[in-house]
Amino acid sequence: MTKQVQQLDRVIIRFAGDSGDGMQLTGDRFTAGTAEFGNDLSTLPNFPAEIRAPAGTLPGVSSFQLHFADHDILTPGDAPNVLVAMNPAALKANLGDLPRGADIIANTDEFTKRNLQKVGYDGNPLEDDTLAEWRVHAVPLTSLTVRSLEGFDLSKKDAERSKNMFALGLLSWLYHRPTEHTISFLEQKFAKKPEIAKANIAAFQAGWNYGETTESFSVSYEIKPAKLAPGVYRNISGNQALAYGLIAASVQSKLPLFLGSYPITPASDILHELSKHKRFGVRTFQAEDEIAGVGAALGAAFGGSLGVTTTSGPGVVLKGETVGLAVMTELPLILVDVQRAGPSTGMPTKTEQTDLLMAMFGRNGESPVPIVAPSTPSDCFDAAIEAARIAVKYRTPVYLLSDGYLANGSEPWRLPEIDELPDISTEFAVPTGEEFQPYQRDTETLARPWAVPGTAGLEHRIGGIEKADGSGNISYDPGNHDHMVRLRQAKIDGIDVPALEVDDPTGDAGVLVLGWGSTYGPIAAAVRRIRKSGGKVAQAHLRHLNPLPANTGEVLKKYDKVLLPEINLGQLALLLRARFLVDIISYNRVRGLPFKAEELAGVIQDVIDGGEQGV
């Protein structure tokens, strides 16, 4: 039987199941196949903080969304075209996001009376008209998997566990994904358990064959590779890119990398990744707590390492005192905050942009710290190098504000040429014959000398007590303190950051949409939609939050209206209003999820049309 093949330009798939169903792995493998095929893509994993939430319940649902296309895309997509629901909970938790006409592939084996009752279904939605608006493909995934593995020496339970690979095989057939990588991946993953490897591969192939033969699927889909800029690509998540960026910063600064860290979601993967790369001279230190993590990083920085600490919001709170010490002792230090939903423990696996003001002001005294924010998963690589450049050149702690969306999301990354990476190397202080002045500054950068232990003639003492200008001796002199407070501020204010670029193709837009950090994708996608429908809108994105680019005020004042979407209650808007007296229109949503492009397009259109309320 020859089946019809339909061409599509883009598809959004969401895999959803219990947190033990292996949905993240399934999503990762589908992504790898998609990347290999050459589509542009963007992903959004969404999972509960509990490792194994109670089976079959709504809070236990884990999902992975993948958007892939034959052109460049900017977000993981607003609404799935296809939902793979491994159980009734997965269906119920995700149905609200499904547009009319979308495909639902449901595992009928799990739609038992008990499972349906658990999530409050009176009847079976696969059998009544609950799902009339959608195209439902009822597939007994579990029993098909078990049947396909009959020849294997496996318990029924073990056989059932391969159902995610059956689903992956089916979806791989449906969207013409290459299969070789998944097979070799499974062989490697289960190298020590060849029987399990074979079973998973068999389930995967059975899923594929099922698509080929069953009448439930009459059409399969082709999405041509995207025409991206020439180069070598790989798929990368934000956390991995950030870890690679730190290693690159170590290489480019010629400083050994020292990471002091305490495990915390969603930052731990940076610690995991860096701990694999000891051959780069990377020292990873899993500390007893957040405070010791940053303390050790600062101690290593004193000794001439590129000191880094990685954490998320609640960890930043604990590190504040040491960051203040780094400000006072003017040592390079990189503080990575992978922001998550707060306050307090909040929602650890969900994203937010709510730590900007904490990074800006969360210390006692006048304690300025530069802030850099990456805009996409792959941009975490460059942002990490930029944070290191500022830290090393200006001898200051630097905040790098990533977030959960960037950390776990992934996209194709065009690999940089190594020789094009910036040289961020610095010189340690050397004796000049004159008496050493640990707080004598470089006239251009205002940075003090970095004199590392082991250098004869530069023995000196630093600490958290106010320093006399120049000598660095303890000083309680009122005039000196006022002078030093202003000097530390002037040093940060004087950091060279590139000008804010504005994308305004017609040159006469009245509305500027401004963003920072991970909102780049949804904002840019929304701006495209507006322009496609003939609207005029300008876009600018801030990478440096402190200091701001010198032309920021000028850019803001050039437009009739400035719209600023943020996943907080208006933190950057507060800073910009105070600094530039510009009446920013804020749009704020704090749902633990990224903005949707369609949602932002609506807000932008509303502002263009005269609306003033960002709501």
Partner 1 sequence: MSELVNGKGLSLIPKADAKQSLKDFKSDQEVRWCPGCGDYAILAAVQSFLPELGLRRENIVFVSGIGCSSRFPYYLNTYGFHSIHGRAPAIATGLAASRPDLSVWVITGDGDALSIGGNHLIHALRRNVNLNILLFNNRIYGLTKGQYSPTSEVGKITKSTPMGSLDKPFNPISLAIGAEASFVARTLDSDRKHLQSVLREATAHRGTSLVEIYQNCNIFNDNAFEPLKDPGLRDDITLKLEHGQPIASASKAVVRAANGGIEVVARDGVSDEQILVHDAHNPDPSLAFALSRLDEPAFEHVPIGVFRQVERPAYDVLMAEQLDEAVDRQGPGDLSELLLGGDTWRIG
Q: Residue 174 Cβ, how far from partner 1 at the closest point, in Å? A: 21
Among 90, 325, 358, 492, binds partner 1 (CB under 8 A): 325
Between 50 and 72, name the residue whose CB sits nearer to partner 1.
72
Among 295, 315, 404, 547, binds partner 1 (CB under 8 A): 295
Q: Residue 291 Cβ, how far from partner 1 at the closest point, in Å? A: 6
The contact pattern for partner 1, residues 518-537, with x = CB under 8 A and - = no contact, is --------------------
Site for partner 1 in 385-444 (CB under 8 A): 415-416, 418
Q: Residue 289 Cβ, how far from partner 1 at the closest point, in Å? A: 6
- Cis omega (within 30 of 0) on the bond before 397? no
Paired sense of beta strands 40-46 and 61-69, if any: antiparallel
Between 106 and 201, name the residue whose CB sits nearer to partner 1.
201
Which residue(s) pair with 592 in the sheet?
none
What is the distance between the alpha carbons of residues 187 and 179, in angstroms, rounded to a whole number?
13
Using CB under 8 A as the binding rule, whether residue 318 contacts partner 1 is answered as no
Contact (Cβ atoms closer than 8 angstroms) between residue 537 and residue 513: yes
DSSP state letters, 511-575 = EEEEEEGGGHHHHHHHHHHHHHTT---EEEEESEEESPPTTHHHHHHHSSEEEEEESSSSHHHHH
Number of residues counted as binding partner 1 (CB under 8 A): 70
Among 8-16, 150-158, 317-325, 605-613, which window interacts with partner 1 (CB under 8 A)? Answer: 317-325
What is the distance between the alpha carbons of residues 422 and 340, in angstroms, rounded to a whole number?
30
What is the distance between the alpha carbons of residues 157 and 496, in angstroms, rounded to a whole number?
60
The contact pattern for partner 1, residues 218-237, with x = CB under 8 A and - = no contact, is -------x-xxxxxxxxx--
Token pair for 181: 């990588």
The contact pattern for partner 1, residues 40-69, with x = CB under 8 A and - = no contact, is ------------------------------
Between 437 and 519, name the residue whose CB sits nearer to partner 1.
437
Contact (Cβ atoms closer than 8 angstroms) between residue 429 and residue 251: no
Q: Residue 485 Cβ, how far from partner 1 at the closest point, in Å? A: 19
Token pair for 360: 């800006």
Site for partner 1 in 450-479 (CB under 8 A): 453-465, 473-474
- 507: CB partners within 8 A, 6+ apart: none
Going by C-alpha positions, the residue among 545, 573, 577 that lies closest to residue 370 is 545
Cβ neighbours of 222 (radius 10 Å): 11
Site for partner 1 in 26-45 (CB under 8 A): 32, 35-36, 38
Using CB under 8 A as the binding rule, whether residue 447 contacts partner 1 is answered as no
What is the distance between the alpha carbons of residues 395 and 335, in angstroms, rounded to a whole number?
13
Among 165-173, 240-248, 359-367, 442-450, which window interacts with partner 1 (CB under 8 A)? Answer: 240-248
Q: Residue 372 Cβ, how far from partner 1 at the closest point, in Å? A: 21
DSSP state letters, 59-78 = GGEEEEEEEEESS---SS-S
Distances in Å between the Cα of 16 and the Cα atoms of 107, 168, 184 are 11, 12, 24
Between 279 and 532, name the residue whose CB sits nearer to partner 1.
279
Among 248-256, 347-355, 403-411, 546-554, which window interacts with partner 1 (CB under 8 A)? Answer: 248-256
By CB under 8 A, name the binding residues for partner 1: 32, 35-36, 38, 181, 225, 227-235, 244, 247-248, 251, 256, 258, 260, 277-283, 285, 287-289, 291-292, 295-305, 307, 321-322, 324-325, 329, 415-416, 418, 453-465, 473-474
